[in-house]
Structure formats: structure tokens, C-alpha cells
Chain A
Amino acid sequence: MARLTPANEERARQLIALYPHHRSALIPILHILQGQDGYLSEDGMKHVGELLGLSAAEVRGTATFYDMFHVEPVGKYVVAVCTNIACMLQGAYELLEAAQDQLGIAPGGTTADGMFTLEDAECLALCGNAPCATVNWRFFGDLDPQRFAQLTEDLRAGRLDAEVPPHGTLSRVDRNVGLGAPGQSVHGAGGPPPPVDVAAAAGGPHDAGIELATSLTMTAVIAHEGGRGLDHTGTRTDAPGGTDSQDQR
């Protein structure tokens, strides 16, 4: 499939300028490529290699070390169910079995309609809301088979489009300072940051998520249905007596 679009190639060049050595930008650029196509295509990886002076094999060899990168197309939604210890203790394997039955695929598989890819994941650092899963790396805690069915139904119906961007999208906030001056950021030179309008910093094509209030609420709603009242960061939001888990006294 595709090489980086001109806009994404520009983002890649800006990333390269941030690092003392070009190759350090490889993984951040691969995230941009995966955000563009949903996976890492051969042409795309070749293009990234050209930008960094690396062979396609070097790019691929690095990419395949990392679990987040897919070199084959995946479903629209990659659903990763954590089965690690804290989640297992709270029924993660029952959840994964239900997910398999509901979707009709085993971990690693993709549904025939290309909607879902299922993964048997390691700890997602959301253990206070076990068992949990991520969809395109957005968090959903306190799941059970029933809530999982609801989640996939909502995804199919497009009801979570605002919270769950297409697979591969990492950060919707780009760096907006110190760009466009190769080498300037190196060794502390910093370069005079161009004047930044903080209000404007919240806009722009990649900044849809700067507040992510919706995502937070949505995740929290799903968490709250479980009645355990921890939001997706593990912070208690509706604890008995109105305290939160940080408020120990």
C-alpha cells in the first residue's frame, strides 16, 4: 500500500529534527505510518527507510520486535484483552473465552468482516479496573462478557468513534514548538520557540484529543457500570463516602 502522504512525510521530517541521531525517530515515524494505513505496509516501511537512510530490512527487522506494530492488515478495531495476573484473578480468561465465542475468532484472528482483531494481551496498566481491555489502545475497564458484548456492539454501530480513533492512531497531539530547524533542539540549544498561542495549540488537525474529556467520561462510564468506581487511570471516582483512593485520611 501507500507511502507516507506529503503531510505525514513532513511530520516525519520534523520528528527526525528532534533527535541527535536520525534513527531515533524510527519508532515515532512508524507510529505515524501505522496511523495512516492501520498497519505497516512494505511500501510505507521502504519510504521510512529512505527518510532515515535505512534499508527496508532494517526497518522491518526493528518493527517486528514490537508488539504494537502490525506488518499485515488488521481489523478496524484491535481489541486487546488483558489476561495477566491481576486481570486473571478477576476472571480475564472467562472474558477472553466469551470474546472468542462472541466474535468467532481466536486470539490473533480477525473477523471475516474485517471489523475486529482479537489479542490476548499482557498487563495494560489498568489493573485497578480488572478485567480490562483496550480497543485501538483506548481503555475499557471492569468488563464482563455482557459488557464486552455491549462494547463491540457500540463499536460496530460507530457510537464510540469519538473515543476510539482508527487503529494505529497514537497521539492526536503533535509537538508544536521547536520545529523546522534541524539540529536546533540538539544538545540544549533549544532554539527560540516560535511564539505560541496556547488557545491555538489546542486546535489543528492532530489536536482533536487535547482534552479528551469525552474519552475520559466514556471510559469512566464503562468502568462505573461495574460499580467499582475507578476511572481508567485507576483513580477512584465514586467511592463510598465520596472519598477517592488517593484520599486516605
Chain B
Amino acid sequence: MSVTDAPRIVTRRLGTPRSWTLETYLADGGYQGLRKALTMTPEEIHEQVNTANILGRGGAGFEAGRKWGMLAKPTPVYLTINGDESEPATFKDHMLIEGDPHQLIEGALICAYAIGADQVFLFVRGEFPLGIERLQAALNEAYAYGAVGKDIFASGWSIDVVVHPGAGAYICGEETALLESLEGKRGYPRIKPPFFPAVVGLYGAPTIVNNVETVSNLPWVMLNGGDAFAALGEGRSKGTKLLALAGHVNRPGNYELEFAKVSFRDLIFDPSLGAGIRDGGELKAFIPGGASSPWLGPEHLDVLLANEKIAEVGTMAGSGSVVPMDHTTCMVRAAWRIVRFFHRESCGQCTPCREGGGWLEKILQRIENGQGRESDLDLLMDVCDNISPGVRWPPAQTTICVLGPSMPPPVASGIRMFRDEYLAHIRDGRCPFPPDRLPGKLASV
């Protein structure tokens, strides 16, 4: 059995009745991590987090401790938790916010104490009203309990936490766009440098932006120590990772698994996890780490789920979203839908992203609808090259943020793996899969 007996760190209370209430949380050691943290110095906490080597769970996989170390010193300092989760097929933070809001609050408080923050903003995607309600209710409880506010647990340390709703814009998950949005503006990403949040962030002040899952690990790390966390996983990838499994599997869902011990094959086929491809079908390809990651095929099923192992085969772990596609899947249509998403969500500041996205979407659409031309594959690659020169991995970036360069990978990897399928669309003047074209009423872009 390949699934390890590692403890569940961030999902342990999920499924318990009323897991989102203070009562349930306290019954399971809630706020003990914060109490312990407050007996330590911020430096000692930072050291534990460095030992734990928590990789950012928001997609980029940057070490949390290292990020905290880059914080510029002028005050005030802000902490912003990124709960904007809108990456296609990623639904883990959504579950953590709704299912265990106190864990998120406690993690954010530990982080805030360690970095010397002056105020905390919990930025939650606007489309999660239930999550926002539960988080606000939990925060009200935490204030009443004395875990937030003035002189927390009589430690002399005070901090205010604010739940801030987004309003529907994928780009606001990008950390500098998130800060613009939090300032009450349109969510336009800022140019880095100089706008690295840790240096010039919210209101121009040094700001740490961490993902919901990243900080949800902190209460456990405080209680069990950075060593215990680092004992799980391997290499850079320590602890556990929450994987969002969707698509053509029998048991879609979120699975918390020890890093580097479980393969894609286990995740997709193990009866206790994905339980195989639906209707006994065959796996054709899978998206390994979010919509912008290059695809993998069945030959890569034995790659272990660890950031560096996945990077070794030319793609990424990203947000932890895995989407298997079975033999009935049209790869042109799949690429089209992903590109359509990025194009729709482009903020429009950079020409390659704004225009290139439209080109890719239209070309893929006409291939899918049976009106493709022989030259279209070259044209697609040419547009990809204009968005991200060289179409290599990791992608080169000529745009303000990496949303633009997120478009070429699904197109380029799809063409590389399924060139014949693309050509069949063009040669036969129709899509070989049913329904044989994009649904009629939706075909116009």
C-alpha cells in the first residue's frame, strides 16, 4: 500500500460535525499552537518554520520562511492571506476556509506574530459566501475568546484581523493584483521589481502574502515542531500536500498526502484515493499541477508527488490540482477551454497576453470546429512564442505577471503529445470525438 500513514495536518478536523466552530476547534487542541508561539520569540518561530521548510502552497512553491526573511523593515508591516482560489480545478482552499476557519485564523496569527505584522487581512474569493460567513463568525468567536484583538491571551501582544471579500476576478489571486484590489482598485498586477510585496506591498508598506493552506500548517508546526514536519516528505518538499483531484476519476475530492511518497498512479488509481478512471476507461493524459502546467501522459504515472520530482519531468506541482482525462477526451477542446479561461481573465495590461490569448482561443476554436488549416499548428506555436519566447519550461516572461505565460503550456504540450489528433481535426474537417464540435450556441467567442 503506497499511501503512507503520515498524520493529516490541515484536514484532520474536516468531516467532524460543526468543524468550523470554536467549540469543535478547542476540543481538538485549537489555539494551543498560538499559545505556544506567544511564549517564543518571533525569531524562534521563524527558525521552526525554516526547519519545517514549508513550501508556499499557492502555486509558486516558495519557502515561507525564506519569504518572511525578505521582509523589509520599515513599519507598518501587513500580512495578507491569499484565499482567492480561482485556479481551474483547484478547490482545496475553499474547503479549508469553510471547513476549518479557526485553523486558518490561528495560522495567520502565528505568522503575524512571527513577522511583526501590524494588521492581518484575510482575502477571500467573493464567490465563497459560505466561507466568508463561517470565517467572519469564527473571527467573531476568536475575538470573544481572546485569541484576536488586544493583549492576546494576556501576552501583551495585540493584533486586528479583517475578513476582506473579493469580487470576482481570477487575476486578484496574483499577489500584487490582490494588494491593488485590497486597496480598493482594479486588480492590475504591479511590476516586479520594485513591487515585491515583502518590500513594497499594501499601501507601499512591506507585506507578506501567504496562501491559505500554507499558514494552515502553522498551528501543527508550532505544536509538533519544525523537525516533525520536516520528517515528512523528502528533499525540498516537506510535510503533506492537499491535492485537488477532479476530472475523469471515480472519486474526485481533496486528498491530503505526504509529499514525495505517493505517485500520480497512486493518487489516480488507488481505491482509497481516485479509484481509477470513470466507467473503466483508459487514462489518456493528465494535468499535473493546475491549468497552466504542461500535461503529462500515462508514461509519467510513477512520478512522485513532490515539487522537484514533478519539475524534473518538465512541468510543475503548482496549486496541487490534478485532472486526469480519459480516452474520450478531445485534447483540442481541452486546450481551448483552458486558453479561453486565461484569455477571459487577462487584465489587459500586456499586449502578448491580451491579444495572444484571443488568437490562441480563436485558432483552437476553428480547429475544433473543423475549419482548421494545415498551417494552424505552426501559427499556434508562433503565437505561443510571442507570448512566452522559446515556449520553454519554466516559461520565459515578457509580461507583467505570469498569467500570460500560463497559456502556451497546455497548447504546446498538447500539440507535442497529440499532434496526430490535431491533424485529424484539420484533415477530416471535424472533431473525431462526440459531440463533434463545440456546442453550437457557444461557438462564438
The answer to the question of B88 belonging to the interface, with a C-beta cut-off of 8 Å to chain A, is: yes
| Distance in Å: Cβ of A66 to nearest Cβ of chain B | 4
Q: How many Å lie between the Cα of A246 and that of B3 in the bound state?
A: 12
B118 and A128 form a contact (CB under 8 A): no
B150-A93 in contact (CB<8A): no
B143 near A122 with CB under 8 A, answer no
A235 at the interface (CB under 8 A from B): yes
Q: Is A111 at the interface (CB under 8 A from chain B)?
A: no
Any A CB within 8 A of the CB of B382 = no
Q: In this assembly, does A46 line the interface, its C-beta being within 8 Å of a C-beta of chain B?
A: no
Which residues of chain B in 152-176 are interfacial with respect to chain A, using CB atoms and an 8 Å cutoff? 158-160, 162-170
Is B136 among interface residues, defined by CB-CB distance under 8 A? yes
- Bound CA span A10–B127, Å: 24
Which residues of chain B in 48-66 are interfacial with respect to chain A, using CB atoms and an 8 Å cutoff?
none
Chain B residue at minimum C-beta to C-beta distance from A136: B129
List residues of chain B with CB within 8 A of the CB of A90: 247-248
**B345 adjacent to A122 (CB under 8 Å):** yes
Q: Is the CB of A27 within 8 A of B166?
A: yes
Contact of B149 among A134, A176, A192, A246 (CB under 8 A): A192
Most chain A beta carbons < 10 A, residue from B87, B169, B253: B253
Establish whether residues B144 and A196, one from each chain, have CB atoms under 8 Å apart when the complex forms.
Answer: yes
Q: Which of A91-113 contact B (CB under 8 A)?
A: 93-94, 96-97, 100, 106-107
CB pair B442 A96 closer than 8 Å: yes
Residue of B nearest to A197 (CB): B144
Chain A contacts for B321, CB-based, 8 A: 127
CB-contact partner of B167 in A20, A68, A198, A209, under 8 A: A68
Known: A68-B126, A212-B133. A23 touches B89 (CB 8 A): no
Q: How far is the CB of A230 from chain B (nearest CB, A)?
A: 6
Interface 0/1 of B303-336, CB less than 8 Å to A: 0000000000000000001010100010001100
A15 nearest CB across to chain B (Å): 9
Q: Are B89 and A86 in contact (CB under 8 A)?
A: yes
Q: Among B162, B257, B325, B334, which residue has the most Cβ atoms of chain A within 10 A?
A: B162
Bound form: Cα–Cα A207–B141 in Å: 13
Query: Across the interface, which residues of A come within 8 angstroms of B244, CB to CB?
Result: 127-128, 234
Query: How far, in whole Å, are A67 and B14 apart by their CA atoms in the complex?
Result: 30
Chain A residues closer than 8 Å to B365, beta-carbon distance: none
Q: Does B70 make an interface contact (CB < 8 A)? A: no
Partner of A171, one of B91, B94, B132: B132
Contact of A193 with B325 at beta-carbon distance under 8 Å, contacts A27-B167, A128-B244, A169-B129 already known: no
CB of B251 within 8 Å of the partner chain: yes
**Cα distance A22–B183 in the bound complex, in angstroms:** 9
Is B373 an interface residue, CB under 8 A from the partner?
A: no
A130-B252, A137-B127 are contacts. A190–B150 as well, Cβ < 8 Å?
Answer: yes
* B255 and A89 form a contact (CB under 8 A): no
At the interface, yes or no: A45 with Cβ under 8 Å from chain B? no
A132 to B89, CA, bound (A): 12
Asked if B338 is at the interface of the complex by the 8 Å CB criterion, the answer is: yes
CA distance A120 to B438 in the complex (A): 14
In the complex, how many angstroms separate the beta carbon of B186 from the nearest chain A beta carbon? 4
State whether B165 touches A245 (Cβ < 8 A). no
- CB < 8 Å: which of B140, B185, B439, B441 contacts A62? B185
B393 on the A face (CB < 8 A): no
Across the interface, A174 reaches (CB within 8 A) one of B136, B169, B256, B438, namely: B136
Residue B11, interface by CB 8 Å: yes
Q: Is the CB of B341 within 8 A of A123?
A: yes
Q: Judging by beta carbons under 8 Å apart, are B130 and A138 in contact? A: yes
Query: Is B90 a contact of A201 with CB atoms below 8 Å?
Result: no
Measured CB to CB, the residues of B under 8 A from A are 3, 5, 8, 11, 14-15, 18, 22, 75-76, 85-95, 98-99, 117-119, 125-130, 132-134, 136-137, 139-141, 143-144, 148-150, 158-160, 162-170, 181-187, 203, 244-248, 251-257, 272-273, 287, 291, 321, 323, 325, 329, 333-334, 337-338, 341, 344-345, 438-439, 441-442
A-B contact pairs, 29 of them (CB 8 A): A24-B184, A26-B184, A27-B181, A66-B168, A84-B337, A88-B337, A89-B325, A89-B329, A93-B438, A93-B442, A122-B341, A125-B93, A125-B127, A128-B245, A128-B246, A138-B129, A170-B126, A170-B129, A171-B132, A173-B137, A177-B144, A186-B118, A188-B158, A202-B137, A209-B130, A233-B94, A233-B98, A234-B252, A246-B256
